[in-house]
Homo-oligomer: A and B are copies of this chain.
Amino acid sequence: MKQNIDVVVSEVGPRDGLQSIKTIFPTEAKLEWIRVEAAAGVPKIQVGSFVPPKLLPQLADTAAVVAGVKKLKGLTVSVLVPNLKGAELGLAAGADEIGVVMSVSEAHNQSNVRRSVQESLDDFERIVAYRNEHDPERSTKISGGMATSFGCTISGKVQVSDVMRLAENLIARGAERLNVADTVGYANPKQVEDLFRELFRTIGEDIQVGAHFHDTRGLGLANVYAALAAGVREFDACLGGLGGCPYAPGATGNIVTEDLVFMLESMGLRTGIDLDGLLEAREILERHLKGEPTHGTYVTAGSPKDFIPASAA
């Protein structure tokens, strides 16, 4: 299974997908989903987040999920945390990567994690210090999440200079990776290409950079193509496009993992992921959903005639 891959597709469904829908998955169902998707070759999966169970009961079993999949060969197990307390739990659970979420937009950060961006940055510094103390070999990586990098439902436009400043601040505080997110589905491909080009000019090319797009306005895969053109080589996605907004019927959530993999493989970019295996994982996902919709086109359309995925070539 191990081979060279050109683009990392990172599944975030067990976190971003499940937190946005009503169905609460049993731990065993999450484990089955993650195992089958990992077996399909998905190299990284965000399996949950460490937030107060009161806020997100869907993800209250994140420690158990990490424990259940951390031994899977070749899989990077990632979790999301909003603060130091969450990071402590993530390290204790043994996650390979901890994504610390904060927003470029002050208003969104206040609304989402109840603190200023500066307070989130101070906390980020404490998280890195805590990791360095308790995991001196740094086997758990710290990723700086940058929500609302392309716009904010509360404050509208977000300045590119604010995105760059947050990126520099995160790196200065020890981020080993950045995750640049279009949290609310506002990004357009020109904006994406321009922003990532500016980001690589600003922070150089040594820091790992991932992109997180929502397909709210149908531009998710166009944004991926634009980000690829700018040099991004890691993308979050969600099997079946799980998620979306409970208040907007039919609205989609993250970009669809299997559609993304099809696009990349058809472009000649190896993901190391088997499309049939993804569809198998999707069946597991759908079996546990209580009537909530999934999205995506590959599941219906399948591969073109004589299609050979780059990873199989």
By a beta-carbon cutoff of 8 Å, the part of chain A in contact with chain B is 151-157, 184-186, 188-191, 215-219, 221-222, 224-226, 229, 248-252, 256, 259, 262-263, 266-268, 296-298, 300-301, 304-306
Name the B residues within 8 Å of A297 (CB-CB).
Answer: 215-218, 251-252
| A229 CB contact (under 8 Å) in B191, B229, B263 | B229
Beyond A152-B305, A218-B297, 4 additional pairs, beta carbon < 8 A: A154-B305, A216-B297, A216-B301, A219-B263
* A296 and chain B: residue at smallest CB distance: B218
Complex CA–CA separation, A60 to B306 (angstroms): 36
Bound: A225/B194 CA distance, A: 14
Task: Contact check, B301 vs A225: say whether CB atoms are below 8 A apart.
Answer: no
A252 / chain B contacts, CB cutoff of 8 Å: 297
CB-based contact B224/A221 at 8 Å? no
Rank and list the top 5 A-B pairs by shortest CB-CB distance, nearest first.
A156-B306, A218-B297, A188-B266, A190-B267, A222-B222
Structural contact, A262 and B152, CB atoms closer than 8 A: no
Residues of B contacting A259 with CB < 8 Å? 217-219
B residues in contact with A298, CB < 8 Å: 217-218
Output the nearest chain B residue to A153 by Cβ-Cβ distance. Answer: B305
| Min CB gap A184→B, angstroms | 8
Q: Which residue of B lies closest to A184 (CB)?
A: B304
Cβ-defined contact, B190 with A268, below 8 A: yes
Instruction: Compute how far the CA of A266 lies from the CA of B266 in the bound complex, rounded to whole angstroms.
Output: 27
Residue of B nearest to A218 (CB): B297
Nearest-Cβ distance from residue A311 to partner chain B, whole angstroms? 15
